[in-house]
Every structure is written in C-alpha cells, then in structure tokens.
C-alpha cells in the first residue's frame, strides 16, 4: 500500500491505497472522529489481498491535517466521490467506522451509483445520550478526544501510555494496536503531538449529535447496508454507542439495512481489537 495525494476543492487529502486484483471490488474505508486511515490496519490485515483499498485521511486528520475547511460531513462525503474518481473506480464497497459510518451513509445518499454496498461500523444512527443538555453530550464526546489533541508527548511510548490508560483499551491493550495508532503522531515546531484539527472534530461531533438531517443517515440508505453495533461504548460502558433498539427500528423501517449485534466488544475494540475479523468479513462479503 502507498500514500497518494488526492485533489479536493481547496486543497488535497491523503489516501492509503492499493489497487484491486483479478477484477475484485475496491473497498472505500472511512475512519472515525479523531482517527486516521491507519485505524483500519487490523481490518485490512484480515481482508483478501485481491480487494482494492482506498483508506482515506479525511480533512483535518492524519496526513490531511492541513487540508482546508469546510469540515461538514456532506463535504467529506463528496470528497469520497473524488477519491474514487482519482483511482478510476466506478463503484466501491463503502465502509465507515464511527463518524465514518455517517460519512459513507451520506455518500450513498448523494452518490448512490458509486456504492456497491455499505458496511456501517457502529455509527450512522442517533446515539445513546443522557437526557437534557445536548451541548453537554457534545462535550462528553469531544472533551476526552480534544484533551489528547492538546497534549505534547515526550516520546512514542508516552503516547502509547496515553492509549493504554484509555478506559476502552486498558483491559484490552495489545501491542499489535500500535501500528494503527502511531500514524496520528508527528513532530511539528518541536512538539510531538497528534495530527488532528480540533475544528474538524468539533464540526463532526456537532453534526452526528445535534443535526437532525445527519444523525439518522443510515435510515435513508438506498443501497444494501450492513450495520454492526456492539454491546459497550466509547468508555467500555454498557449500552453501546448506538443502542440496539435504535438499530433494529432503523432496520425495520428500511429493507436495505441489516443489523449485526456483537457482545463482548466496545466501540474501540471493534476495529482496534478482536472485532477486526468480523468487520473484515462484512467488508469481504463472507
């Protein structure tokens, strides 16, 4: 696989790419709110090598950290069409994790002819929230992420120590997670810090929590879609990010959408840990 710059309005974004072989399909992979293309590493390792891959660093993340606004999910979805165009791919299996699930669902709605099928990985529908102040819900979601973005790290091990202490990973840490995470770290102006634009994070969080046209995006998908939801949430808490009843209600209202519920996994271990094999199977159509 190699990193390739792709032109988008106002600048460019980075794509981690390998071409398809033997007439096989290409998978378009879109990461979560503060993630990068490399969050798909464990999933990619479990996919057939013949499947083509377009793993995107969305605007404001990873090697696309300097890409310009706007950071709204509709713009990011349209960027996906430009990525397919760049590599001469007409239609792709579009897989999105967390925020990426909203992006690929919007992509399918805006560009249905470009999508073979969808894999929505713990995202794309209204999330579990405490009743009351919705702005508080955004703070709860973005606050821990932004705190990581504001840190300076003495070295790579200090960075990994931060992740080892994360409530979703501290009981599940495995050094094989390191390649998926280290890519987000870079040195700039004498600082070793995370390559994520906080403005991009805030805009994504606002849309998926507060924007009524955005947060139920998976209810409107016009192509075959497989939604994976898990038992536990972003802090390994019970209940999951997307409540099972919300997923089942969406499936009942949209014949294009099927739901798979996984116990024993949380939002992070679904792609960084033991859930990667299940996600890979869904993308490969096994």
**Domains, the chain, with CATH or none:** 2-150+197-284 (3.40.50.1820)
Mean pLDDT by 10 residues, the chain (286 residues): 97 97 96 96 97 98 96 98 98 98 98 97 86 59 72 93 93 95 90 92 91 93 97 91 95 97 96 98 95
15 SS3 class: strand
Q: In this structure, are residues 79 and 13 in contact, taking their beta carbons and an 8 Å threshold? A: yes
Measured from the Cβ of residue 271, the count of other Cβ atoms closer than 10 Å reads 28
Confidence (pLDDT) at 132:
55
Instruction: Compute φ and ψ for 146, nearest 5 degrees.
Output: -65, -35
The whole-model pTM stands at: 0.95
Extract the tokens encoding 20. 């398809």
216 SS3 class: coil
Rounded Cα distance between 141 and 96, Å, is 18
Confidence (pLDDT) at 188:
79
pLDDT digits (tens, 9 = 90+) for 268-283: 999 999 999 999 999 9
Q: In this structure, are residues 75 and 181 in contact, taking their beta carbons and an 8 Å threshold? A: no
Confidence (pLDDT) at 141:
61
The separation between CA 192 and the C-alpha centre of its own chain, rounded to angstroms, equals: 24
What phi-psi label fits residue 285: left (phi over 0), alpha (psi between -120 and 50 degrees) or beta?
A: left
Confidence (pLDDT) at 116:
97
Q: Considering only CA atoms, which of 40, 57, 45, 46 is closest in space to residue 4?
A: 57
């Amino acid at each position: 696989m190699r990193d390739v710059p792709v032109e988008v309005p106002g600048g460019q974004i980075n794509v981690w790419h390998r071409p398809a072989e033997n007439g096989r399909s290409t998978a378009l992979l879109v990461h979560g709110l503060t993630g990068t293309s490399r969050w798909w590493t464990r999933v990619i390792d479990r996919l057939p090598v013949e499947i083509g891959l377009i793993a995107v660093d969305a605007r404001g993340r990873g090697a696309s950290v300097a890409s310009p606004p706007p950071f709204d999910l509709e713009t990011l979805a349209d960027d996906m069409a430009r990525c397919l165009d760049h590599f001469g791919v007409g239609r792709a299996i579009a897989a999105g994790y967390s925020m990426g699930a909203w992006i690929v669902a919007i992509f399918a709605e805006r560009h249905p002819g470009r999508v073979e099928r969808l894999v929505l990985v713990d995202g794309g529908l209204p999330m579990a929230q405490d009743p009351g102040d919705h702005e508080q819900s955004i703070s709860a979601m973005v606050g821990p992420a932004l705190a990581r973005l504001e840190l300076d790290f003495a070295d790579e091990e200090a960075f990994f120590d931060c992740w080892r202490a994360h409530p979703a990973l501290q009981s599940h840490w495995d050094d094989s997670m390191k390649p998926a995470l280290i890519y987000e770290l870079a040195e700039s102006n004498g600082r070793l810090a995370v390559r994520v634009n906080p403005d991009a994070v805030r805009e994504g969080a606002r849309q998926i929590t507060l924007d009524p046209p955005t947060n139920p995006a998976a209810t409107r998908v016009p192509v075959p879609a497989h939604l994976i939801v898990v038992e536990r949430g972003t802090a390994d808490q019970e209940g999951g990010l997307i409540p099972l009843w919300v997923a089942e209600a969406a499936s009942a209202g949209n014949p294009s959408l099927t739901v798979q519920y996984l116990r024993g996994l949380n939002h992070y271990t679904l792609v960084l840990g033991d859930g990667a094999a299940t996600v890979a199977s869904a993308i490969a159509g096994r």
